[in-house]
């Protein structure tokens, strides 16, 4: 049997080479994305990082202890622990060498958004080493962590909570992954940030503990030191973007590859039906035929998948490079060959190949030999019941998901990552229904086809007769064009809806925001508050941990601490429960989805753990409609919990002088690391930036899938070319010139492509319609655009690939009269 299998393999070299190539490349890109996903969704580092070389770190409490659902205590890290009390600092000085540590926002102009300042003496126990220059020798000198060596000797402007300052770069250190540091002379650091955040104590642990006894300070040693660090997740936070992108890529790529590989392997079996029928007449049982075909596919698939996995490991470098270059992933990211993603990719490829083969060979083996011979030679249905049923099921699921999003979880329509399953299901369903559309498309193309003269008949009958070939070509076209159109359009719609939602929710005229991840200094706040004829709202981001009866943890809410009146003047949250009037001094306003998630209702009393660990009682005063911002909450301005304001929103008072207010605001922020913009221009800028980022990500994610789909189109046509030999030589004998023959082939391919594009359009339209319904109920109306350039480019690529390949392959592989014995 193996010998027969091997012998037949030789005869079908083109088909098998095609299937092999499709599976190898498919597995390679699945493996590439799977490995990348595995790398970005696990922590890069373990244990204390910044304090790795500090023997003991003394801090004020750095965690808040609440109870989980079982009543067991659970420690939550604080985002802004309180400073260490002066008594504790004093007491520690007697225990041996101590180094006070300070951490504060300090941004070098043109530097990264999240730069932080530290005193230079702390560099000793952190992994910072000078690579050029020297330590800060005066209060005007700094060392830039991970800075470019060219900086040394130059003067830079550094923004801190106290405003701008000019410093000379005395030296630069090698970069550290967990932060972007700026080191000041110790005295200068103490001036900029008088509070001591932590003390690193070198003395004996016992005496250190004894010294701070009763001051409320906590001595952290060993693994606990991590609790005092800013990044406690081993770098996972920095990988969030990369994880999102890799996750989306993985899903999309796996979907396209599995689909195309199933179709390709099924096509190979289709091509062999005549041979299988022959074997049946010679005495092969249905089971024998199936087993032979399956064994062949299995062997081929094992080889191809293994090769694909090996290639995938190499390809990860390309994807990683792209992500690092485009700022999606941090440069410390390492993607290494892990077994689990490779095994998954291997089996995904293998499974797709075997499924594609099994479905068709099961059917092919079942038919009677006489029927099989006739069927192999004659017309047969391209739309098999299995295919139609499966297509129908995918479509139904897609519609149901889409309706579910529109009817409830509308926020997920804003994120392609969360919404991806809708395009995948709808486009997949349509791809399966392709064979149904060949006839209507032919009817629609009747007029242009007629211009081919006798060719019209040949092309029409050809496309119908070889329904499977038409379907095999159209399937990747549906996937590529459908997904492309759906993703690009839906992404733009999400951005537009987002902008519309933000516009609708705000009534401010001007927005002042801190530069980068910095904060707005109190001096600026005071000056802005002093501006006449304006209502000023100061927003301080305060992450609060909510707990119910018995300290039971309910959830974490990204809230803003803001004065109730100021909030009402500058933002317009749509209240769906409770009231925003007379909020009082203990209000909690939060969006409905978060309230549902936490299980709180309007009027409930909860406790809120503020960023510094202070616990305050709050009353759920109102719930707002969940909008584009997703989870959001407001607490009284007093409850900042040590956090600093990052945004000030200004509304010109009724009858106020807008130009005067603008001038006053400009004066207030002059020479301060605070950006002043009108609300409209800020939103426009944000939308543009959002658009740029998401297009980049969608482009990359989709690009991988597109490349594979194009390959599949070319591949199928090359595989199909030898089948045409008999048909085309009959045409030649009937008097068609080579040129005419090639025109027929091209026209037939165009029919298949158009059928694909029509279905793709339908699928994309369905996706976009569903998303639009969801977004409209979320934000009301928003302008909708279709990125035609991208959509048409994808369509053109598919068409050019299809027609080009079919013509070239036909020219090369088909010529002369039909060989005998077939």
Interaction site with another protein (CB under 8 A): 1, 3-4, 7-8, 10-12, 275, 278-288, 366, 368-371, 373, 819-822
Nearest distance from residue 356's CB to another protein, in Å? 22
Nearest distance from residue 386's CB to another protein, in Å? 19
Q: Between 7 and 654, name the residue whose CB sits nearer to another protein.
A: 7
Q: Between 279 and 621, name the residue whose CB sits nearer to another protein.
A: 279
Nearest distance from residue 376's CB to another protein, in Å? 11
Nearest distance from residue 9's CB to another protein, in Å? 8
Q: Between 144 and 367, name the residue whose CB sits nearer to another protein.
A: 367
Nearest distance from residue 369's CB to another protein, in Å? 5
For residue 478, give the 3-state DSSP assignment: helix
Nearest distance from residue 295's CB to another protein, in Å? 14
Q: Between 339 and 378, name the residue whose CB sits nearer to another protein.
A: 378
Structure tokens at 343: 């095994």
Q: Which residues contact 404 (CB under 8 A, 6 or more apart)?
A: none
> Which CA distances in Å does 278 have to 55, 274, 606, 724, 725?
80, 6, 77, 20, 20
With vertex at residue 570, the alpha carbon angle to CA 564 and CA 571, rounded to the nearest 5 degrees, is 85
Q: Between 403 and 464, name the residue whose CB sits nearer to another protein.
A: 464
Nearest distance from residue 813's CB to another protein, in Å? 16
d(CA 111, CA 172): 13
Nearest distance from residue 440's CB to another protein, in Å? 23
Q: Between 108 and 358, name the residue whose CB sits nearer to another protein.
A: 358
Q: Between 288 and 558, name the residue whose CB sits nearer to another protein.
A: 288
Strands of 492-604, DSSP E: 510-514, 534-547, 553-561, 575-578, 587-591
Q: Between 229 and 727, name the residue whose CB sits nearer to another protein.
A: 727
Radius of gyration of the CA atoms of the chain, in A: 33
Q: Between 166 and 822, name the residue whose CB sits nearer to another protein.
A: 822
Nearest distance from residue 748's CB to another protein, in Å? 25
Whether the Cβ atoms of residue 511 and residue 648 lie closer than 8 Å to each other: yes
Q: What are φ and ψ of residue 552, in 5° steps?
A: -75, 125
d(CA 74, CA 597): 19
Structure tokens at 756: 């694909």
d(CA 548, CA 546): 7
Nearest distance from residue 820's CB to another protein, in Å? 5
For residue 40, give the 3-state DSSP assignment: helix
For residue 78, give the 3-state DSSP assignment: coil
Name 141's bridge partners: 168
d(CA 172, CA 174): 7
Q: Between 12 and 651, name the residue whose CB sits nearer to another protein.
A: 12
d(CA 213, CA 683): 51
Tell how strand 615-624 and strand 587-591 pair up: parallel
Q: Which residues contact 481 (CB under 8 A, 6 or more apart)?
A: 756, 757, 760, 761, 764, 791, 794, 795, 798
First to last CA, the chain: 22
Q: Which residues contact 177 (CB under 8 A, 6 or more apart)?
A: 44, 45, 49, 235, 238, 330, 332
For residue 811, give the 3-state DSSP assignment: helix
Q: Which residues contact 144 (CB under 8 A, 6 or more apart)?
A: 108, 111, 151, 156, 169, 171, 172, 173, 181, 182, 183
Indicate the helix (H) or strand (E) that contains 100: strand 98-101
Q: Between 286 and 673, name the residue whose CB sits nearer to another protein.
A: 286
Nearest distance from residue 17's CB to another protein, in Å? 15
Q: Between 279 and 485, name the residue whose CB sits nearer to another protein.
A: 279
d(CA 744, CA 600): 68
Nearest distance from residue 11's CB to another protein, in Å? 3
Q: Between 282 and 654, name the residue whose CB sits nearer to another protein.
A: 282
Nearest distance from residue 469's CB to another protein, in Å? 20
Write out the DSSP string of 143-184: EEET--GGGTT-EEEEEETTEEEEEEEEEEE--BTTBEEEEE
Q: Between 282 and 734, name the residue whose CB sits nearer to another protein.
A: 282
> Which CA distances in Å does 98 have to 60, 93, 121, 433?
16, 6, 10, 73
- Residues written for the chain: 822
Nearest to 358 by CA among 269, 428, 237: 269
Nearest distance from residue 472's CB to another protein, in Å? 22
Q: Between 70 and 822, name the residue whose CB sits nearer to another protein.
A: 822
Q: Within a 10 A sphere around the Cβ of 378, how many other Cβ atoms?
A: 8
Structure tokens at 370: 């006489």
Region of 686 on the Ramachandran plot (φ > 0 left; ψ -120 to 50 alpha; else beta): alpha
Nearest distance from residue 355's CB to another protein, in Å? 23
Nearest distance from residue 817's CB to another protein, in Å? 12
Q: What are φ and ψ of residue 767, in 5° steps?
A: -60, -50
Name 200's bridge partners: 57, 99
Q: Between 286 and 756, name the residue whose CB sits nearer to another protein.
A: 286
Nearest distance from residue 362's CB to another protein, in Å? 13
Nearest distance from residue 285's CB to another protein, in Å? 4
Q: Between 371 and 526, name the residue whose CB sits nearer to another protein.
A: 371
Q: Between 10 and 739, name the residue whose CB sits nearer to another protein.
A: 10
d(CA 12, CA 162): 76
């Amino acid at each position: 049997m193996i010998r027969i299998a091997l012998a037949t393999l030789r005869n079908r070299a083109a088909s098998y080479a095609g299937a092999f190539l499709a599976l190898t490349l498919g597995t390679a890109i699945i493996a590439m994305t799977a490995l990348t996903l595995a790398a970005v969704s696990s922590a890069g580092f373990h244990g204390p990082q910044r304090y790795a070389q500090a023997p003991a770190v003394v801090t004020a409490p750095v965690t808040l202890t609440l109870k989980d659902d079982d009543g067991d205590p659970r420690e939550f890290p604080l985002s802004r622990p309180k400073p260490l009390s002066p008594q504790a600092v004093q007491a520690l000085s007697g225990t041996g060498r101590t180094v006070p540590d300070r951490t504060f926002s300090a941004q070098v102009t043109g530097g990264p958004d999240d730069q932080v300042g530290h005193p230079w003496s702390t560099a000793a126990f952190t992994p910072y080493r000078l690579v050029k220059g020297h330590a800060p020798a005066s209060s005007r000198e700094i060392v830039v962590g991970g800075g470019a060596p060219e900086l040394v000797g130059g003067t830079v402007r550094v923004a801190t909570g106290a405003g701008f300052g000019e410093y000379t770069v005395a030296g630069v250190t090698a970069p550290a992954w967990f932060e972007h540091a700026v080191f000041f002379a110790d005295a200068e650091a103490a001036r900029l940030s008088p509070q001591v955040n932590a003390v690193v104590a070198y003395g004996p642990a016992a005496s250190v503990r004894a010294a701070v006894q009763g001051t409320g300070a906590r001595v952290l040693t060993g693994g606990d030191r991590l609790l005092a660090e800013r990044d406690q997740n081993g770098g996972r936070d920095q990988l969030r973007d990369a994880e999102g992108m890799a996750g989306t890529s993985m899903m999309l790529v796996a979907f396209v590859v599995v689909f195309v590989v199933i179709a390709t392997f099924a096509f190979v079996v289709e091509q062999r039906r005549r041979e299988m029928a022959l074997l049946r007449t010679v005495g092969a049982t249905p089971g024998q035929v199936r087993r032979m075909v399956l064994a062949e596919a299995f062997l081929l698939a094992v080889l191809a998948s293994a090769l694909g996995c090996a290639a995938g490991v190499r390809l990860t470098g390309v994807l990683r490079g792209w992500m690092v270059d485009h700022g999606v992933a941090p440069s410390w990211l390492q993607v290494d060959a892990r077994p689990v993603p490779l095994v998954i990719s291997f089996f995904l490829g293998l499974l797709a190949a075997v499924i594609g083969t099994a479905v068709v060979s099961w059917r092919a083996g079942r038919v009677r030999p006489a029927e099989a011979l006739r069927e192999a030679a004659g017309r047969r249905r391209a739309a098999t019941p299995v295919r139609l049923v499966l297509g129908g099921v995918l479509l139904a699921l897609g519609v149901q998901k889409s309706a579910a999003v529109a009817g409830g979880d509308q926020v997920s329509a804003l994120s392609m990552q969360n919404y991806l399953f809708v395009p995948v299901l709808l486009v997949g369903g349509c791809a399966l229904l392709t064979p149904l559309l060949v006839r209507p498309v032919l009817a629609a193309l009747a007029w242009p086809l007629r211009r081919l003269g006798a060719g019209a008949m040949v092309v029409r009958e050809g496309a119908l007769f070889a329904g499977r070939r038409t379907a095999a070509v159209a399937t990747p076209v549906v996937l590529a064009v459908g997904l492309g159109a759906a993703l690009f359009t839906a992404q733009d719609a999400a951005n537009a809806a987002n902008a519309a939602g933000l516009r609708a929710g705000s009534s401010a005229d001007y927005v002042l925001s801190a530069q980068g991840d910095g904060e707005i200094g109190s001096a600026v706040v005071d000056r802005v508050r002093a501006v006449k004829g304006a209502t000023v709202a100061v927003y301080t981001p305060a992450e609060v941990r909510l707990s119910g009866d018995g300290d039971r943890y309910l959830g974490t809410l990204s809230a803003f601490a803001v004065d109730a009146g100021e909030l009402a003047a500058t933002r317009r949250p749509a209240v769906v429960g409770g009231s925003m009037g007379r909020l009082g001094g203990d209000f909690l306003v939060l969006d409905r989805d978060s309230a549902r998630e936490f299980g709180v209702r309007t009027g409930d009393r909860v406790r809120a753990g503020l960023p510094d660990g202070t616990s305050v009682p709050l009353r759920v005063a109102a719930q707002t409609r969940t909008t584009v911002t997703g989870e959001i909450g407001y607490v009284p301005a007093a409850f900042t919990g040590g956090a600093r304001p990052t945004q000030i929103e200004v509304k010109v008072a009724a009858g106020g002088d807008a130009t005067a207010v603008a001038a006053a605001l400009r004066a207030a922020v002059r020479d301060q690391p605070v950006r002043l913009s009108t609300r409209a221009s800020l939103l426009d800028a944000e939308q543009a930036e959002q658009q740029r980022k998401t297009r980049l990500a969608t482009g990359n994610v989709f690009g991988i899938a597109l490349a594979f789909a194009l390959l599949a189109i070319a591949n199928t046509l090359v595989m199909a070319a030898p089948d045409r030999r008999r048909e085309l030589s009959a045409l030649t004998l009937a008097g068609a010139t080579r040129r005419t023959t090639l025109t027929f082939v091209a026209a037939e391919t165009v029919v298949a492509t158009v059928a694909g594009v029509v279905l793709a359009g339908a699928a994309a339209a369905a996706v976009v319609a569903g998303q639009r319904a969801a977004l409209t109920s979320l934000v009301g109306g928003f302008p909708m655009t279709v990125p035609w350039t991208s959509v048409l480019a994808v369509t053109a690529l598919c068409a050019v690939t299809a027609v080009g390949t079919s013509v070239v392959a036909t020219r090369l592989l088909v010529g002369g009269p039909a060989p005998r014995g077939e």
